[in-house]
Structure 1
Amino acid sequence: MDGIKGKLRDLPIRRSFVFYVVFFLAADILLCLLTSRFLDLWTIPARNTVMLAMVLVYSLMCLAAAAGIFYETKIKKPLRLLEQASGRIGKRDLDFSINYDSADEMGRLCHAFEQMRQALLDNQRLVWQTMQERKRLNAAFSHDMRTPLSIVSGHLEMLQLECDTIEPEEIREKAAVMEKHLKRISQYVEKINNLHKMEELPFKPKIVERRLLEEELMQIGELLCGSRGRTFTLHSQLTEKTYELDLEILMRVFENLLDNAAEHARSQVTVLLEETAASLLIRVLDDGKGFSRTALENAQRPFYTERSREQGRHMGLGLYTSRVLCGIHKGTLEIENRQVGCCVTMRIQKSQNQIKS
């Protein structure tokens, strides 16, 4: 019985309608035959008139039953689900799902509607995450601007108050200090502008051969690590012949991670290429001292660095930039310490179809 119900549920709407009409037409004919036989057994005045009336009644009853059952089994539930879903979406409530288990046209429509709802929900979450990220970035920028602005403001105020008594040499010294911190402010502003541009980078995945990917990573690794006096090693466990990647984004992240690893390594930088069913993993390992506990928690935040700003070459934006770029590629950035040094992993999805879903 369940198998028959399942087949009827999955039957296309047109065939289902024809099935119910034919079924109840057969029932109509059967009732008419039974009634005719009954009237033949009993002598009833105006037999033909009664028979005609009964045929009309049976036809209307069977037609109404066919239409009613067709509506109840094929139209009512999906129509109610879609109506409820459109009402909730209109109220910006996307925290629900549309479940209608049928392979007919209404089932496909419900599935398409569910995909649309999921896409809207993902976009809503992405917008919220972007807003939160922008707030954190603005807060970090404002925090780091306070020191150079305070220094410049203090020196200007001092020059105004002591303009009649201050020596030219002291003026030059204060001007040099102000120039230094104004350059810092200019660098911060430039970095922020570059970050905003980076967040708007288009995602353009293309088919990349495994051999080409390995050669590109090897070439950059040997060049960058060699210039720092570090030994570079690449181990690949990739098995597929091609991957669907945005190579430009991938290489920018790789260069950032490699540059950071080479800067902190004692002598050796190692890259491991691995894969899972859905993801491509690029692990960058160094033999340095690793991250402190505080750095592990905050390394991917904008402008975070354990060094002073004068010592830091990237203003604490290297790993943050890498995380943003990984996000554009629908991936993540993972940081962990090892027994010796640390490991930073870029994890991205391999398939464009997975990314779109």
Structure 2
Amino acid sequence: MSIKKRLIFSNIAMIIIPIVFFFFIEIIGGFVLFYLFNGEPEGKQLNMFLTYRFIGLLLVLVITNGLLTYFVSKSIINPVKNLSVAAQEISEGNLDFSIESTNKDELGQLSKTFEVMRLKLKEAEEVHVRYEENRKELIATISHDLKTPMTSIKGYVKGIRDGVANNPEKMERYMDTIYTKANDMDQLIDELFLYSKLDLQRIPFQLEEIDLHNYLTDFIEELRFDLEQNGGTVSYDADLEDSYVVKADREKLKRVVTNIVQNSLKYMDKDWKEIQVSLQSESDQVVVKITDNGSGVDEEAIPFIFESFYRTDSSRNSTTGGSGLGLAIVKRIIDDHGGAIWAESELGEGTSIYFTLKKPVDEKVR
């Protein structure tokens, strides 16, 4: 029962109960005094009856008012006290303090809302802790990834200055190594810069209508050439009778597909590398699926692979190194397009990454 109804009923009861008892006292008192004891309804006996009736009515009013006020206020004050204690505990950082309520009134609903808030705060705190841990790991790993090539560059430059590269072939090898190391550093810094700008929403999106079928066909041709040179292949599947026109930023979309493919190739553990790309047209969106035959991702790790700085392996080496921002950048771009992204994976078999892009309004009504 709601608090409003409870207060209305208590007020009505404060009127009805005294009236009922008034008639009860009137009838019973009169019956006892004037019938059983053969009293006379006049004089002292009448005055005594009126006095007792008044006292009885006063007692009924006091008891009724007191009991109703006590129980109604208790049903309101106790939940408020519990909420106050819970608020105090949460303000002191105790997010494990749970509050339960079986009431079906406004305070019961408030308690449930408060509990939902507590759970969300706890979840946010856990995410924040995990983010801080990943951020600390990022600082350590980025420092490592920047220091390692910088050390190599300094070593090769010193070799050139000391005359170690004393022939054209050795000089060319030294210069190629310096260029490669510098390029790796530049890519790492570029990735960090891009993510920070996306995170701050400082990159404008130039949305236009893009036919994903034609767009991916060109991209896959380039990818197929690179994979065939390194013992792999790429396949593409799309129903040509469907429409795959979406609203997207061409450059950002290229970054999405490139990051997903690069992430897949990074964790390829098969001699023969396979990338499969497919399109599925739905009423208001297009679903893109990119599948690899890599090492796969543990089921417990799948929900976190799109988080900032997350890496499925904790080791740092030249094969699987990276900032851990590749898929986080992908998710940020897809989110800013109003789409969704998720992954499915099986250890030892491979990983499939899906993302959606919205169709233009005129395409939806076709």
TM category (shorter chain) comes to 0.5 to 0.7
Equivalent of 1:336, from 321, 346, 354?
A: 346
> Alignment partner of 2:131: what SS?
helix
Counterpart of 2:6 in structure 1 is 16
> Alignment partner of 1:127: what SS?
helix
Counterpart of 1:63 in structure 2 is 65
Kept after mapping to 1: 8 A contact 2:260/2:327: yes
1:1-357 equivalences under 5 Å are 10=1, 12-40=2-30, 41-42=32-33, 43=39, 44=45, 46-73=48-75, 75-155=76-156, 162=162, 177-178=177-178, 180-201=180-201, 217-229=212-224, 230-234=234-238, 253-254=256-257, 256-257=259-260, 269-271=276-278, 283-286=289-292, 290-292=293-295, 318-319=326-327, 321-322=329-330, 332-336=342-346, 342-346=350-354
How many angstroms does 1:284 deviate by? 1.9
> Alignment partner of 1:93: what SS?
coil
Q: Distance in 2 between matches of 1:296 and 1:122?
A: 20
Aligned pair in 2 of structure 1 residues 222, 95: CA closer, same or farther (>3 Å)? Answer: farther
Counterpart of 1:241 in structure 2 is none
How many angstroms does 1:144 deviate by? 2.0
**TM-score normalized by structure 2?**
0.63
Kept after mapping to 2: 8 A contact 1:283/1:343: no
Q: Distance in 2 between matches of 1:338 and 1:272?
A: 24
Aligned pair in 2 of structure 1 residues 315, 89: CA closer, same or farther (>3 Å)? Answer: closer
Gaps spanning 5+ residues in structure 2: where?
Answer: 34-38, 40-44, 203-207, 225-233, 241-245, 359-366
Aligned pair in 2 of structure 1 residues 347, 48: CA closer, same or farther (>3 Å)? Answer: farther
Aligned pair in 2 of structure 1 residues 188, 304: CA closer, same or farther (>3 Å)? Answer: farther
Kept after mapping to 1: 8 A contact 2:343/2:351: no
User: Aligned-pair RMSD on alpha carbons?
Assistant: 5.0
Tell me which structure has the larger Cα radius of gyration. Answer: 2
Q: Distance in 2 between matches of 1:337 and 1:267?
A: 16
Kept after mapping to 2: 8 A contact 1:323/1:333: no
**TM-score normalized by structure 1?**
0.64
Q: Distance in 2 between matches of 1:335 and 1:303?
A: 12
How many angstroms does 1:85 deviate by? 1.6
Q: Distance in 2 between matches of 1:226 and 1:261?
A: 17
Counterpart of 2:363 in structure 1 is none
How many angstroms does 1:292 deviate by? 3.8
> Alignment partner of 2:238: what SS?
strand
Kept after mapping to 2: 8 A contact 1:199/1:325: no
C-alpha offsets along residues 59-102 of structure 1, whole Å, 9 cap, x if unaligned?
111111111121233x1342133112201211112224433244
Aligned pairs, how many?
A: 308
Gaps spanning 5+ residues in structure 1: where?
Answer: 1-9, 203-211, 237-244, 351-357
> Alignment partner of 2:236: what SS?
strand
